[in-house]
Amino acid sequence: MPLFVVGTPIGNLEDLSFRAVRILKEADYVLCEDTRITRTLLAHYELKTPTVSYHQHSGLSRTDQIVSWLKEGKSLALVSDAGTPGISDPGAALVELVRNECGDEVKIESVPGPSALATAISIAGVGCERFLFLGFLPHKKGRQTMLKQIIASEYPAVVYESKHRVLKLLNELIVLGENFQVTICRELTKKFESVYHGSPSELLALFDADALMGKGEFVVIIRKEKKKK
């Protein structure tokens, strides 16, 4: 039986596909980062499939169990807390492990679904035919290296940021001194979905004026303004 990699809603529970519902219903187990979050999703669709936690701190005993289940012919569905597994979450490591441990014995099958990255780009209107995706910027070690990559890139850079660090990022962009234009997509697919455009300083002013703007989850698209000839 295959390992299904299932995309789940990033906010709006109605965004789960018909196929994803069927796969989650038929699977022997659903592997998830946080069982509480996944159970809420399953309950919304009246699904009673057992959930098993798999996250970045899962040890060898858990991964060995997963490989054993697959080799026994059990059907497993891998989900993240939100969005498509393998994009800035531990799912990528599990897929690599299963591919290495099981080879052709186990088929790894994608069940496409929502992605905060694709959703943000689709509504930003900033021309991302090509872009640099850096996921979550590091808290400390390696952060300056990634900021240098943003400066060096000729394409827009896309990052994920938490509410605690998005202000830090805007201040860092100001210090870097480039003429950046930034798009911030907040709370995508949720009730208070918002998209903001402007320079880092203009967006900081918006944060100061609107306390709600600093709440939620963020996808940030950073572009360097082209120099006028």
- The CATH code of the domain that includes 123 is 3.30.950.10
Closest CA to 85 of 4, 28, 23: 4
Domain count, the chain: 2
| Choice among 78-82, 171-175, 206-210 with the minimum mean pLDDT | 206-210
Q: Is the pLDDT of residue 73 over 80?
A: yes
Closest CA to 111 of 16, 200, 32: 16
Task: Give residue 153's pLDDT band: very low, low, confident or very high (50, 70, 90).
Answer: very high
Are residue 131 and residue 99 in the same domain, yes or no?
no
75, part of any domain: yes
Contact yes or no for 184/196 (Cβ under 8 A): yes
Last residue of a domain, one of 111, 141, 162: 111
What 3-state DSSP class applies to 107? coil
Are residue 129 and residue 189 in the same domain, yes or no?
yes
| Choice among 48-62, 106-120, 145-159, 169-183 with the minimum mean pLDDT | 48-62
DSSP string, 129-177: SS-EEEEEPPSSTTHHHHHHHHHH-SS-EEEEEETTTHHHHHHHHHHH-
**pTM listed for this prediction:** 0.89
Are residue 106 and residue 123 in the same domain, yes or no?
no
Are residue 48 and residue 131 in the same domain, yes or no?
no
Give how far Cα 146 sits from Cα of 119, 131, 156, 175, Å: 23, 14, 13, 15
The pLDDT, as a whole number, for residue 217 is 86
| Choice among 60-69, 129-138, 202-211 with the minimum mean pLDDT | 202-211
Burial of 117 (0-12, 13-18, 19+ CB in 10 A): buried
| Distance in angstroms (rounded) separating the CA atoms of residues 25 and 28 | 8
Task: Give residue 57's pLDDT band: very low, low, confident or very high (50, 70, 90).
Answer: confident
Q: Which helix (H) or strand (E) holds 117?
A: helix 116-124
33, part of any domain: yes
| Distance in angstroms (rounded) separating the CA atoms of residues 149 and 147 | 5
Q: What is the mean pLDDT of the segment spanning 43-57?
A: 93
Task: Give residue 41's pLDDT band: very low, low, confident or very high (50, 70, 90).
Answer: very high
Task: Give residue 172's pLDDT band: very low, low, confident or very high (50, 70, 90).
Answer: very high
Are residue 73 and residue 122 in the same domain, yes or no?
no
Are residue 120 and residue 157 in the same domain, yes or no?
yes
Closest CA to 2 of 51, 91, 71, 55: 71
Show the domain range for 173. 116-224
The pLDDT, as a whole number, for residue 228 is 55
Are residue 8 and residue 107 in the same domain, yes or no?
yes
Of 76 and 90, the one with more pLDDT: 76
Name the one residue in this structure whose structure tokens are 């897929």: 95
The pLDDT, as a whole number, for residue 56 is 77
- The domain spanning residue 81 has which CATH number? 3.40.1010.10
**43: number of Cβ within 10 Å:** 11
229, part of any domain: no
156, part of any domain: yes
